[in-house]
A and B are shown apart, each in its own frame.
Chain A
Amino acid sequence: MTDSTVDSTVGTAVGLYRTVRLVRRFEERAVELVRSGDIVGGIHPYIGQEAVAAGVCAALGPDDLVTGTHRGHGHVLAKGADPARMMAELTGRVTGLNQGRGGSMHAADFGVGILGANAIVGASGAIATGAAWARRRLGAPVVAATFFGDGAVNEGMLLESFNLAALWRVPVVFVCENNGYATTMRVEDAVAGSITGRAEAFGIPAATVDGQDPAAVLAATRDAVARARAGEGPTFLECRTRRFDAHHTFEHKVRLRYRTDEADLRTRDPVDIQGARLDGTTRSEVDSEVEAVLDEAVAFALGSPFPDPLTALDHLYASGLTPRPGSDV
């Protein structure tokens, strides 16, 4: 952190701006590192959707839990993971959040309640539901927020988790980031009925939220979290958002033609929407501070060692069981 007189406490107008700006610039720096070959395998950029992670996580406390998606960098950063250790994870370094074992699609930081991004669409709703139920059972009054995209609302496993959460009044907030596309498939072509209607079918209160406005997402999430803490069970938020960039960085090389919203794609930018609520001096102070944090993060990542290949299967078993090698020679 650089010296700053700006109060960017989580949940304030400045705090929300700092988060969306941090996530935006983190992603832009990460895309550069994909291009330079420092991040192998590519990433699913969160650019355009920052308001959702920022608003949801601002309504959560440090002990609350989140699970994320393959497009999950925003969730991890907004929940409070160290950007330097996150960048180190993306670049496969031993200093990464997961010691370089997870990468972009599996980043986790249990110390701040991040139970992991999950690369299987619709898979983490049930995990978040079980985790929130268990923590509550163990005496910790926590709430879990689980992020998923519009593509996930057609996954049976996710719908099963709606049922379990509603039946057992589990303190979970289901956050659908509807960015209009499941990879290349338009939501209109994939979803029969409505997205919120799926939650309503299980008796879960559902709201549609402006997912480009961090303050709107925060307000809706605060209501949902209050319900959960009061023992009233799950809430569903459909955050209408826009993915400005590609589904995955491989699209930067192989152009896929499927978007019909290119023309007005960036007209509602969450960084500008929240930035306009700050005076110019404050905004540029936050921008400088974020840039310094990211300079440090990239330097830390690229200066960190890679894991030793001899440790490739470390942590496979929590019991310490050593698997047989692939060959005895």
Chain B
Amino acid sequence: MPWLSYQKALNRALFDAMTADDTVFVLGEDVRVAASNVTVGLARRFGPDRVLDTPLSEQGFTSFATGAAMAGMRPVIEFQIPALLFLSFEQIVNHAHKFSLMTGGQCQVPVTYVVPGSGSRTGWAGQHSDHPYSLFAHVGVKTVVPATPTDAYGLLRSSVEDPDPVVVFAPAAALGVREDVDLATLAPVPLGSGRIHRHGADVTVVAVGHLVHDAIAVADDLAGSVSVEVFDPRTLYPFDWDGLTESVRRTGRLVVVDDANRTCGIAAEVIATMAERVRLAAPPVRVTRPDGAVLPFSIELDRATQPSRAQLAAAVALTVKER
């Protein structure tokens, strides 16, 4: 079977979405030449009218897409760097997200915002390395963080088909992940459904995005002593609370690894919800970026602010200490 990279999976999802539906179009900065590689070949296949290079006007073109969506089209915006979501946060949250309710259901705003290269890209420093997915979950904008190529394909297809705004974070550290897949089996993955990558009996590790691969590696390393279940929520909002509850009820222990700042992060919400639903056998542990982290430039500093496999292994050990 062919090897499919995560990046190619996103490209293939856009290609298939644009083939399936004439109202889907892509806009963003440098998308015709595909500076981020995700829109490769789209302009040649679908023409410049469906692949719009925009001026550097993120607020303007984000709301342009909102208007286009309200008028019947399905825009897909590519943001080259995650920080552009801070710039366009008002347009996404205060307009795109609110119009359905505020108009009493008179309109839909089916816009997809894709960030190919969220989180640290290694050495891109303070303004290019954030992972602001928890902000969108907090305000209730549908938020997707795929970990694998098949999920990247499937979740992006579902996001484009969804009638509401959806933000798709494609972590930089996952873009190079490859998977041996039968391309004919690629299919939409519903939003709001988690996935257990590895079954285990002692502790549930909830891992977000690229950290799923770290969690699997740590689970493999610990296989002789601890049986670790790796739960990948895939969608942070809506979250598959029932799927996670089922896992945590079985294991009784919970660790969350999340490459975003600690306060009010998705890890906090996961732990709060499990504490409400399940009587845990040990206090839960989270491994995140520090509070208020700004990623420093120098490589060791960059790495020091992100969750590590060593921290995750230590967290797992802490939860199973007393059995």
Contact = CB atoms under 8 A, between A and B. Distances in A.
A130 B68 CA distance: 5
Nearest to B273: A324
B100 A317 contact: yes
A98 B68 contact: no
Contact of B164 (A135, A313, A319): A319
Interface string A299-329: 0000000000000011111110101100010
B102 interface: yes
Contacts of B106: 98, 108-110
A318 B102 contact: no
Interface in B93-148: 94-95, 99-110, 140, 142
A161 B100 contact: no
B272 to A, nearest CB: 11
A192 interface: no
Contacts of A106: 102-103
Contacts of A97: 104
Contact of B276 (A96, A313, A328): A328
A126 B192 CA distance: 31
A178 B63 CA distance: 23
B73 A110 contact: no
A195 to B, nearest CB: 19
Interface stretch (A38-46, A115-123, A286-294): A115-123
A110 B107 contact: yes
Interface in A75-132: 96-102, 106, 108-110, 115-116, 118, 120, 123-124, 126-132
Interface stretch (B34-42, B52-60, B260-268, B280-288): B52-60
A236 interface: no
A99 B102 CA distance: 9
A311 B106 CA distance: 16
A133 B64 contact: yes
A123 B63 contact: yes
B95 A157 contact: no
A127 B63 contact: yes
Nearest to A138: B72
A132 B73 CA distance: 11
A282 interface: no
B71 A135 contact: yes
Contacts of B109: 318
Interface residue tally of chain A, by bracket? 35 or more
A208 interface: no
Contacts of A118: 95
Interface residues of B, number: 46
B63 A130 contact: yes
A156 interface: yes
B5 interface: no
A216 B10 CA distance: 53
A156 B60 CA distance: 8
B33 interface: no
A161 B64 contact: yes
Contacts of A129: 64, 67
A65 B71 CA distance: 10
B89 interface: no
Given A108-B106, A134-B72, A163-B57, A315 B67 contact: no
Contacts of B290: none
Given A131-B71, A318-B164, A323-B140, A126 B64 contact: yes
A160 interface: yes
A6 interface: no
B61 interface: yes
B238 interface: yes
A315 B100 contact: yes
A68 to B, nearest CB: 13
A102 B65 contact: no
Contacts of B57: 160, 163-164
19 contacts: A98-B106, A115-B67, A115-B70, A126-B62, A127-B64, A127-B95, A134-B72, A138-B23, A138-B71, A157-B63, A160-B59, A164-B61, A164-B64, A313-B101, A315-B105, A317-B100, A317-B164, A319-B164, A321-B192
Interface of A: 65, 96-102, 106, 108-110, 115-116, 118, 120, 123-124, 126-135, 137-138, 156-157, 160-161, 163-164, 167, 313-319, 321, 323-324, 328
Given A96-B104, A98-B103, A134-B71, 6 more contacts: A101-B104, A115-B70, A123-B91, A126-B64, A157-B59, A318-B105
The 7 A-B residue pairs with the shortest CB-CB distance in the complex, in nearest-first order: A160-B60, A130-B67, A99-B104, A126-B63, A130-B64, A131-B67, A315-B105
Interface of B: 23, 49, 54-55, 57, 59-73, 75, 90-91, 94-95, 99-110, 140, 142, 162-164, 192, 238, 241, 276
